[in-house]
Structure 1
């Protein structure tokens, strides 16, 4: 197409085309776009435009009405895609005036033929209008032909499915009003309700459930119902509505893994969703997947200890699953032990002690108990869980079948043991440091800065500290006492950790670490205030200089801790990548 003619078509200038007549059909771009395609596409989407150019061009060359470009788009496709309602209406009116199209099935009006035309993607003008979200165009198309074809396009998407997938409630309502039996199918066996759930459009969901209630039980090629998607995507409000309409949908298992919506919700760590499904359909807790895993097996992987304790205390049906075994004989607590191995019975945290004693000795078909896994691990089960948690961003489970919840409290001992050259070794060094601080602060309490009042002095002040009225000295005494108490507390913790019984109290090591660090800080404060109390009177400048030098300890400590945290964050991001 000549550049001059292209610009004239884009701007709607008809004069250059007045005498072209039927030759306009040969004036096309590289992609076989006619002057009508160029003009319609050059106007901004939704913009109110004049139809004068379109009418003038079709008046001298009516064949352009049905002429398609390289992608199979007729002018009506382009007008519908860009939401140009006025152009769509003009094209339909012109089509009504044209003679019918002779087909093998007989003569068909030009308008109906044009409305049924499909491009290379097998989209009709209605598909294009729905995808663009143009309600006005959809209304015009249905007005032109109430029996507008609603077949699927090349991707298997019907107009109703497209409207639901994009959350277009008004367009969905228009389609269902004009065509109550409109096809609802989508790709891979999905329905419009599947699409609406994935898009999170509650308005469309309510509309579909009112008109097509049976869609709650429809399954896609993987066997997923709309409830499966709601559970997997954590659409809490939507799942509630689906269950209100048809609670039996909670009993439907998928084809791949025999997982119900409850299994998916538990696997993704969605506590609220699990509660909602159990409240509506408690019997679904009895169902297991293809490996024999029940909802509690999944929960042990994905939920935190606090969440597990909450669910086990609140729901009897949940508690009844504690001793249920999968096909390999593993109970839910075998899974918990594999996820966060802890040699000192983490199960006591989430179930009563009497029950915990029973689960702790439970064995699977390989005669491996929960206690054994806690102490020595179980590579086979650990690998199985790791495979379930793989998130590769593709397939039916882009985030993994389960999301592993890192139970930090139970993994802390293992982390410290692996990253600090062994807790027992670290404890020895920490004990030496804490004992040294306690020794220094104890000695400082009896060798006070400034000394004592002479024994020859009369009265009750004999033998007391000379600087006892000095504010800096008072701060020295207090900070020295704090350092003494914290360091002795750390020594005591390290001492009891040497006893076998206390080794299971992991958090004590962390407390000892904090006690030691704060004791160091208090000791530095005692040093600064003590030297200031002695030097302030004879040499204030020296006293201030000494304080500044001493306080740089906090700057160095802060700098090192910041570097450690920064490096830790970088490593975690690298691991995630």
Structure 2
């Protein structure tokens, strides 16, 4: 060979000493090599036998830069590619063997990127050419063959890296057969070929490499370099983000460095799985080693904490099933997963764990552990209840926390505040009242002096307590009261006007029945029609509800408490919206009973009215933030969101977000079963339910 190959003692990267300076490749030779024109190549390189006479094309010396065939064979392009590089890339099998026989030094020739013909053949998946190169390299000796196969380019990558990255399974098999230790060479980013194949999702290549390692190497010979990845990751980090079959393959190589190996952020493969919520993948790892659930990342978070932040309830349940005490694990701030769920605004996770009996957790141990978690104080002295009092506006969750668990309500944080103190300070106008009711009832059961005496002992004046709680409302300044009052009055005026209009219209409709009346008897002409009876019921329902809405506003005007006024108006608005839907349906039924005998227009009217009601339902629900269908659907899509936001602010942000259509479409495609259930409860029942009620009574 023309140059001698040595290896760097530090990295194992082969280095070429005394690389010969090659003449520039003639244009005609480069053109013929790229086109794969074997006839021209043979003549230019002097590879024709004496009996070989090309029948048509003949390249004269004048066509190219005057250069001997031997010089053409040694020439290279501006990037340092020799004729063997180009032919290995293009797949010209017939000439490769001849050229290697003519000049074996080309086997180790390296271009500007320090790539050999082996790299080129591997990158483009030419296994037949690679085998020819290996056969000629074997003639130089076994040590020379290994040195050629292990040569690394400017990125420190071998031919096996190239084959694994581009998914050429046959090339990988050929290289692994010749030198199994190639799999243990990493590039400058410490990335192994196995990691590249895993990240690509090439199951056949991963299976081949793992099978060779398991069957031909001893356990101690499979070092971490064989599955090393970037940023201190392992191939298992990449596998858990792919299909379970890849993970199963890699678990055959399982060792502590592979399973418990952490990346630069301290996250193990199980942390990755917890963030994606892949239940099946987590089961594979926990079956292999349950202790993986007890490893912290650099932020002090355990896998269960990651699952909580991402809102993956099934993942949390799985971790608790396999490692029940993982719920009590604390991060660097001394917080368990209840603290973290409240901090990350993943209230539905806690609520589902408290409510859902399908989580298959052992009831007695889980309940005892939950009580301990709920009373755990973080580094600031806050229990989960402290955080709930500060951030949560979900009354049902508060009720579950306070009424079904043995919580110590007297615990104070480092600022000397209990959860009740924090709720008073926060003055949550939407849910604070219910929270205080539940809290004070619990306090009275614990102390004969009750909550009033409890707060007196904490040096809160009696006058302040009475001013704040006698009316069951937090205190407010005048500007806040004025703002709420003005808003309530504006809403009340609009609702009142609408209610009166509906009452007037429906009252008039009752005496101007569709179809008229019989002049002799005074009975409605269409009175025996089924749809006519439904029309009468819908009209009366609209009239009744509009009157009820009006009476609620009258009662509201006599109350001076802004919060109760707002509650009355909100309830009145809900009744008014139902009355509006009943009026629309009454109109549609009235038109249908008149138009049905003469055409299909009546059916079209009913369909349009139903669509209008459905759209009205969803718009109203989105603006009020109370519709579980859209709310939970969007919560599932935005499971990675964090921060403390009220339902109203979240819904408002979603309405302003132009990507809501894409998110809903994504949800439609990814959760069809859940969507069908939500459609049934959120759309079908609210619309069809009242209609069924009306039609059934119309039969009487």
TM range (shorter): 0.7 to 0.9
Q: 1:569 to 1:219 in 2, by over 3 A?
A: closer
For 2:87, the equivalent position in structure 1 comes to 39
Task: Tell me the residue number matched to 1:375.
Answer: 428
Counterpart selection for 1:445 from 493, 501, 510: 510
Is 2:374 the partner of 1:322? yes
The change in CA–CA distance for 1:449 and 1:36 in structure 2 (over 3 A counts) is closer
Q: In terms of mean alpha carbon deviation, does 291-300 or 486-495 score higher? A: 486-495
What are the Cα deviations for residues 80-105 of structure 1, in whole angstroms up to 9, with x where unaligned?
1222211111101111223x6xxxxx
Moved more, 433-442 or 493-502: 493-502
1:265-313 residue CA offsets vs partner (Å, 9 max, x unmatched): 1111111111111111112222211222211122235576554233125
Q: Which residue number corresponds to residue 350 of structure 1?
A: 400
Match of 1:298 in 2: 340
Q: Does 1:229 align with 2:282?
A: no
Distance 1:452 1:441 in 2: 18
Q: 1:61 to 1:453 in 2, by over 3 A?
A: closer
Aligned length: 501
**TM-score normalised per structure 1:** 0.73
How has the CA–CA distance of structure 1 residues 158 and 449 changed in structure 2, closer, same or farther, with 3 Å as cutoff? closer
Matched residues in 2 for 1:356 and 1:423: separation? Answer: 40
Q: C-alpha separation between the residues in 1 aligned to 2:164 and 2:518?
A: 95
User: How far off its partner does 1:245 sit?
Assistant: 1.9
Partner of 2:543: 484
Identify which range, 465-474 or 332-341, moves more after superposition. Answer: 465-474
Task: Supply the distance in 2 between the matched residues of 1:26 and 1:339 (Cα, whole angstroms).
Answer: 75
Aligned to 2:33: 9
1:429 counterpart residue number? 494
Shift of 1:112: 1.9
Deviation of 1:518 after TM superposition, in Å, equals 0.7
Q: Does 1:177 align with 2:215?
A: yes
Which of 191, 200, 222 in structure 2 is aligned with 1:166? 200
Aligned-partner SS, 1:259: coil
Q: Deviations over 1:247-282 (max 9, x none)?
A: 122111112x10001100111111111111111111
1:113 aligned partner:
147
Q: SS at 1:258's partner residue?
A: coil
Structure 2 unpaired stretches of 5+ = 1-24, 47-67, 356-360, 431-482, 624-651, 664-700
Name the SS for the 1:369 alignment partner: helix
Unaligned stretches of 5+ residues in structure 1: 44-49, 101-107, 378-417
Write out per-residue CA displacement over residues 349-394 of structure 1, whole angstroms, 9 at most, x where no aligned residue: 53353659976x87644435235436179xxxxxxxxxxxxxxxxx
Change (3 A) 1:192 1:231: same
1:129 aligns with 2:163: yes
Query: Residue 308 in 1 paired to residue 353 in 2?
Result: no
Q: Does the residue aligned with 1:320 lie in a helix, a strand or coil? A: helix
8 Å Cα contact 1:305-1:350 kept in structure 2? no
Single out whichever of 489-498 and 309-318 deviates more from structure 2: 489-498
> How many Å separate the matches in 2 of 1:226 and 1:529?
63
Deviations 1:99-157, CA, capped at 9 Å, x for gaps: x6xxxxxxx83312211211011001122222233333233223333544722101111
- Residue 142 of structure 1 is matched in structure 2 by 176
**Correspondence for 2:581:** 518
Deviation digits for residues 420-451 of structure 1, max 9, x if unmatched? x9466424421331233124423443566788
Equivalent position SS for 1:325: coil
How far apart in 2 are the matches of 1:298 and 1:191?
A: 28
